Amino acid sequence: MTTASLHPPTGPDAPLAAYRRLAARVIEMALRDLECPCRTGGHRASAIEFLVGAPLLYHWCDLAGIDVKRVIARGERARLEQPWPPGRPIAPLGRP
């Protein structure tokens, strides 16, 4: 991850540079919520929900230049590892 600069970027992609950094940061934070044992269950559950294919995930990944399939695969692995309450089946993707 790069650090912020006091000088605005130049070039043809300059107007989108800040949005690209924001998109990358949103995805990075969601992945951190999956991995960090200090996160509460609610943060992890929200991250999983976002990373298994929330509509905005596709937009953020496209903007940040990140492979959405890899991000969804990581979210899906975490979803399958998520401890669910006894008797509550894990719903397949796309179904409530």
Whole-number pLDDT of residue 78: 85
Contact between residue 17 and residue 5 where contact means Cβ atoms under 8 Å apart: no
Beta strands in 1-96, from DSSP E residues, in sequence order: none
Residue 10 within a domain: no
Q: pLDDT tens-digit profile of 29-63? A: 999 888 876 656 678 888 888 898 888 999 999 99
Reported confidence tier of residue 9, pLDDT bands at 50, 70, 90: low
53 found inside a domain? yes
Q: Is the residue at 29 inside a domain?
A: yes
Domain count, the chain: 1
CA dist 64 and 23 (Å) reads 5
Residue 67 lies in domain: 16-81
* 5: pLDDT strictly greater than 90: no
